[in-house]
């Protein structure tokens, strides 16, 4: 790119060589040479620093600049010039790369006023000129006591005679400056130094880190600067008030513009950039053509309390307009033509609309949203597959009747083969004839998925004519857009589910994991990981927490299943014996086994024992869960207790699990004794086996092409690589060799 058209020599007028360190000075020279400029440009500019300039030094250094694989380019000069006040001569939204990147279109809907329509509001100069009072109020409004404040009271003149700020000071906090103002009885100069009455003084409106004054030194991205000098001061003031900008401080610059320090409350630089772009575009649409060179978070603004060319730089007002960015953003978003009009309840009273029919009886209506949350061992994906089958076949799901219809399952986690086999396995385990397989569609997106704001439009386009009554998205961590702990970013993310619901006329059902740490003492709506938006956005939130199974209950279940198996064998092999056996004996594990031993052929009895052993193993692997809910459209239901009998969940209708607690709710003295007669050694062994089973399950899930790495498993489990490697060393079923994980028997 030819940077000569960007007038680098003009930009150098905005960079003071005397405030640069040696490397920064060299970078200017290398950038000029890389852009095709003559050494004389660098030499003439360097001569402005008379204290350090040496004749012939620039030419000597210039000859040593012989190119590099990573050259210093003209962008270095552009960046430094912009940070020091340079403004490009021409600007347009299209060529400045100010895309909002939030699906926000700044069209006519965001027009509140214009330069012609807005009331002209004059500003009033302070009656009593008190510089210390001016800067004190400014500091108290914008900064906390421990915030470092960067300001500039000294300046230099470029070749055109324009006054430009030096590097200034960044080493004192707002609290220290206020204390010194009090100490020196309001003597402005004793605290900040003398100012040039021709140039005024400057201050940075964002808190800094105390180590410098560049963008990387910004400690918090609280404010942005809105400045325009294309219209009169009165018109500027009028438009700012009409827009109700969230202005923390409004300062008269002593010249042709007002400096509005606007709250943007960004969490990071990327969010700051997007919010400033949005702010500036809204201002432009309403006749306040903003100076785009002010968009840097480390930008200098005019300091109130000083004189500039005979005029005062002063605070016009503080804390005007909306009190926060979020409130103002809601306000400008509301100025659209596509929202419904207000509706009179008196008119609707006699003609009430029909409620949406239930999708899941007493839990969720069609067209609404539901979140299923739980820990990694809850079998959430299996529960959602069970739901798919129940809706397709018009059956019950966890005891609730489901409406019958077509459903789409968006699979983001499993490879295609594993997903299809899961559906078949669950069908078999639920013992439901697959009569409506054509009502279940699966969209396999593992490895090709996108963030939800990109995925939603594509999903809607493909599903528009399919007549689905529900779309299940499993799991959402694969498609989360933004920081899951950021309320506004997660609100935007959850809005994508609203789009799916409204544009497809179906329910949106999605699942998410619990946050880390203890869950038992939290409300069900507060257990899902991330922002509270997750809990408050869906119309129904179902949450699964694990119950602490005692050895007695496991043994009871095994005995019950043993009695059932014995009865089936007696019914098949010797029904006459069964007729003469009392019901009490058939409900006794010991008695049932004795009757089978006495009456079954030896071969049948050995087979019976193997079936009982297999049943005991299966029951010992079962887990128990409590399902709680927060519902918007229906009364709260009593918690449901569930068995997870791989691969399906079954409701505990007998009440075996009714009195159990989650492990988190046990008292410390209970946790040590919860296994009764089982020794601590056996507890440790059981826990190790559980962790091994989790590793094996994770290995099977992420094993798509036989190449499973530690990183793959760490990402899935949400733990560090070191944790996975440590657990692999203790796992006898998996081996780590040359960075690859394999099953032990496959070596």
- Map 641-663 to HEC letters: EEEEECCEEEECCCCCCCCCCEH
209 lies in the same domain as 305: yes
Q: Based on the number of CB atoms within 10 Å of its own CB, is 331 exposed (0-12), middle (13-18) or buried (19 or more)?
A: middle
d(CA 81, CA 77): 6
Hey, what are 697's tokens?
């399950």
- Domain presence at residue 625: no
d(CA 180, CA 139): 13
153 lies in the same domain as 8: no
State the distance between the two ends of the chain, measured CA to CA, in whole angstroms: 56
- Domain presence at residue 563: yes
- Domain presence at residue 705: yes
CATH of residue 706: 1.10.10.10
- Answer yes or no: are the C-beta atoms of 541 and 535 closer than 8 Å: yes
Q: List average pLDDT for each run of 10 residues in the chain, which is 747 residues long.
A: 56 84 89 85 86 88 81 83 65 34 46 72 90 95 95 88 88 95 91 91 95 92 94 91 93 94 93 92 89 89 93 94 90 71 87 92 95 86 96 96 97 93 96 96 90 88 92 87 73 84 92 62 48 75 91 90 94 90 89 91 92 92 92 93 93 88 57 46 67 75 76 78 86 84 71
374 lies in the same domain as 416: yes
Domain boundary among 596, 620, 644: 620
181 lies in the same domain as 242: yes
582 lies in the same domain as 521: no
560 lies in the same domain as 690: no
pLDDT computed for residue 246 by the predictor = 95
Domain boundary among 597, 620, 643: 620
274 lies in the same domain as 318: yes
574 lies in the same domain as 498: no
d(CA 682, CA 622): 18
How far from chain centre, in Å, is Cα 32?
Answer: 42
Domain boundary among 546, 566, 588: 546
Task: Give the residue carrying structure tokens 């009430």.
Answer: 352
- Answer yes or no: are the C-beta atoms of 592 and 586 closer than 8 Å: yes
- Domain presence at residue 141: yes
**Nearest alpha-carbon partner for 10 in 159, 157, 214, 154:** 159
Cβ count near 745 (within 10 Å): 7
- Domain presence at residue 293: yes
pLDDT computed for residue 493 by the predictor = 80
148 lies in the same domain as 245: yes
601 lies in the same domain as 715: no
CATH of residue 528: 3.40.50.300
373 lies in the same domain as 258: no
d(CA 659, CA 317): 63
- Domain presence at residue 730: yes
- Domain presence at residue 69: yes
Tally of domains in the chain: 5
pLDDT computed for residue 90 by the predictor = 37
Show contacts of 675-678: CB within 8 Å, 24+ apart. Answer: 675/550, 675/551, 676/550, 676/551, 676/552, 677/551, 678/551
- Answer yes or no: are the C-beta atoms of 544 and 627 closer than 8 Å: yes
Cβ count near 716 (within 10 Å): 16
686 lies in the same domain as 563: no
Residues 693, 696, 697, 698, CA torsion sign: positive
Domain residues for the domain of 15 are 3-83
Hey, what are 231's tokens?
């219209």
Cβ count near 371 (within 10 Å): 24
pLDDT computed for residue 91 by the predictor = 34
d(CA 164, CA 83): 11
- Domain presence at residue 456: yes
Show contacts of 524-532: CB within 8 Å, 24+ apart. Answer: 524/628, 524/629, 524/630, 525/630, 527/373, 528/371, 528/373, 529/484, 530/480, 530/484, 530/485, 530/490, 531/484, 531/485, 531/486, 531/487, 531/489, 531/490, 532/487
Q: What angle do CA 239, 244, 248 make, to 5 degrees?
A: 105
């Amino acid at each position: 790119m030819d940077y000569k058209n960007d007038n680098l020599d003009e930009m150098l007028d905005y960079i003071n060589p005397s405030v640069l360190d040696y490397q920064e000075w060299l970078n200017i020279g290398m950038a000029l040479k890389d852009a095709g400029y003559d050494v004389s440009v660098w030499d003439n500019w360097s001569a402005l620093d008379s204290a350090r300039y040496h004749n012939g030094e620039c030419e000597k250094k210039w000859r040593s600049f012989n190119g590099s694989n990573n050259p210093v380019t003209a962008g270095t000069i552009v960046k430094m010039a912009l940070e020091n006040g340079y403004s490009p001569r021409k600007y347009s939204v299209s060529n400045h790369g100010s895309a909002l990147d939030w699906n926000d279109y700044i069209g006519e809907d965001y027009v509140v006023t214009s330069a012609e329509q807005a009331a002209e509001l004059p500003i009033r100069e302070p009656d009593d000129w008190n510089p210390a009072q001016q800067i004190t109020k400014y500091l108290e409004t914008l900064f906390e006591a421990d915030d470092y404040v960067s300001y500039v009271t000294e300046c230099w003149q470029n070749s055109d005679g324009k006054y430009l700020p030096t590097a200034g000071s960044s080493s004192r906090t707002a609290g220290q400056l206020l204390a010194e103002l009090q100490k020196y009885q309001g003597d402005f100069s004793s605290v900040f130094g003398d100012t040039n009455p021709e140039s005024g003084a400057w201050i940075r409106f964002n808190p800094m880190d105390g180590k410098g004054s560049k963008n990387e030194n910004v400690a918090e991205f609280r404010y942005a600067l809105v400045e325009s000098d294309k219209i009169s001061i009165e018109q500027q003031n009028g438009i700012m008030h009409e827009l109700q900008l969230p202005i923390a401080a409004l300062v008269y610059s002593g010249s042709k513009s007002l400096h509005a320090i606007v709250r943007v409350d960004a969490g990071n630089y990327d969010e700051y950039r997007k919010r400033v772009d949005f702010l500036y575009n809204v201002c432009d649409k309403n006749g306040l053509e903003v100076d785009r060179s002010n968009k840097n978070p480390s930008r200098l603004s005019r300091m109130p309390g000083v004189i500039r060319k005979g005029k005062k730089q002063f605070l016009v007002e503080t804390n005007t307009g909306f009190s926060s960015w979020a409130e103002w953003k809601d306000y400008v978003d509301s100025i659209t033509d596509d929202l419904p009009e207000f509706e009179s309840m008196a008119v609707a009273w006699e003609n009430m609309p029909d409620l949406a029919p239930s999708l899941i009886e007493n839990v969720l209506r069609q067209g609404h949203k539901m979140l299923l949350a739980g820990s990694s061992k809850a079998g959430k994906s299996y529960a959602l597959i069970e739901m798919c089958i129940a809706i397709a076949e018009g059956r019950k799901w966890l005891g609730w009747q489901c409406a019958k219809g077509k459903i789409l399952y968006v699979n983001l986690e499993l490879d295609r083969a594993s997903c299809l086999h899961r559906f078949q396995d669950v069908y078999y385990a639920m013992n439901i004839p697959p009569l409506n397989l054509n009502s279940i569609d699966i969209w396999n997106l593992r490895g090709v998925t996108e963030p939800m704001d990109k995925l939603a439009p594509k999903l809607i386009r493909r599903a528009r004519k399919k007549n689905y009554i529900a779309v299940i998205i499993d799991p959402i961590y694969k498609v989360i857009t933004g920081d899951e702990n950021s309320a506004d970013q997660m609100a935007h993310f959850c809005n994508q589910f609203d789009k799916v619901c409204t544009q497809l006329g179906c329910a949106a059902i999605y699942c998410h994991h619990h946050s880390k740490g203890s869950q038992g003492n939290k409300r069900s709506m507060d257990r899902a990981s991330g922002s509270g938006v997750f809990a408050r956005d869906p119309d129904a939130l179902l949450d699964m927490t694990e119950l602490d199974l005692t050895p007695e209950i496991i043994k009871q279940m095994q005995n019950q299943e043993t009695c059932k198996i014995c009865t089936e064998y007696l019914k098949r092999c010797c029904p006459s014996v069964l007729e003469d056996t009392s019901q009490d004996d058939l409900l006794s594990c010991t008695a049932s086994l004795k009757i089978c031993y006495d009456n079954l052929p030896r071969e049948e009895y050995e087979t019976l024992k193997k079936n009982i052993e297999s049943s005991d193993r299966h029951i010992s692997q079962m887990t128990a869960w409590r399902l709680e809910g927060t519902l918007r459209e229906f009364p709260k239901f009593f918690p449901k207790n569930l068995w997870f009998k791989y691969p399906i969940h079954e409701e505990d209708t007998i009440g075996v699990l009714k009195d159990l607690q989650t492990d988190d709710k046990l008292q410390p003295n209970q946790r040590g004794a919860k296994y009764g007669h089982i020794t601590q050694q056996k507890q440790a062994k059981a826990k190790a086996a559980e962790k091994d089973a989790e590793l094996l399950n994770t290995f099977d899930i992420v094993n798509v092409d036989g190449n499973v790495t530690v990183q793959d498993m760490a990402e899935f489990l949400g733990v560090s690589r070191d944790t996975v490697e440590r657990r692999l060393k203790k796992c006898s079923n998996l081996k780590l060799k040359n960075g690859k994980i394999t099953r032990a028997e496959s070596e």
